[in-house]
Amino acid sequence: MPDTTTPEPEFDPRVRAQYADWARASIRYADLDPNGHVNNGAINEYFEDGRVRFRNARMAKFGDDILTGFAIARFAVDYHAPLGYPGEVEIGTVVKRIGRTSYMLGQGVFSGDDCIASAEVVTVYFNSDTGSSQPLTEELRSVLEAAMIAEA
C-alpha cells in the first residue's frame, strides 16, 4: 500500500457487521476440486463479484471513463475454512484505507455466519493516457469514505 493517508481502525474480517455492502453468489459444481472442496480460484471469483457489485452500486454514476482507470495492484487472501457444494455464499465489502492514488478494500466470503475466506485488495487509479497512477478525485474520495468501516 504505497501512499496511505487514512488511519486504519481495528478490523476483524470474520465479523459480518464490519462490512458496508453485500453481494451473493451461488456455488457451482464446476467450482469443486478433485478433493471435493470448492477450489480457491472459485473463492477468488466470489471476491471479484463482491467488488464489481460494490463498484456498480457506488460508482456507476461516474461513467465508464473513470471506471476503466482502476486496476487491482494487490490481492491478499486468507483461507479460513473449506467450503462444500451446493450452497450460496455472501460477500461483504468495505473500504479499509484511502490513499492518495489508491484505496484498499476489505472483503469476506461467508457461508452463513462462517467466514470462509477474507481478503485485502488494493486498487490503483490510473491515467489511461499516461499509464501512470493519478490522484483520486474528490468525488471518488467521498464515495469511498461513505463505505469505510464505522468507528466504534
In the complex, which residues of this chain contact a copy of itself (CB under 8 A)?
24-26, 28-30, 32-36, 39-41, 44-45, 48-49, 52-53, 56, 68, 71-79, 82, 85-86, 88
CB of 9 to a copy of itself, least distance (A): 22
Q: Would you say 30 or 150 has its CB closer to a copy of itself?
A: 30
Exposure b/e, 89-107, CB count within 10 A at least 16 = b: bbbbbbbbbbbebbbbbbb
CB of 122 to a copy of itself, least distance (A): 9
- Residue 106's nearest CA partner among 12, 5, 7, 4 is 12
CB of 63 to a copy of itself, least distance (A): 15
Q: How many CB atoms lie within 10 A of CB 67?
A: 12
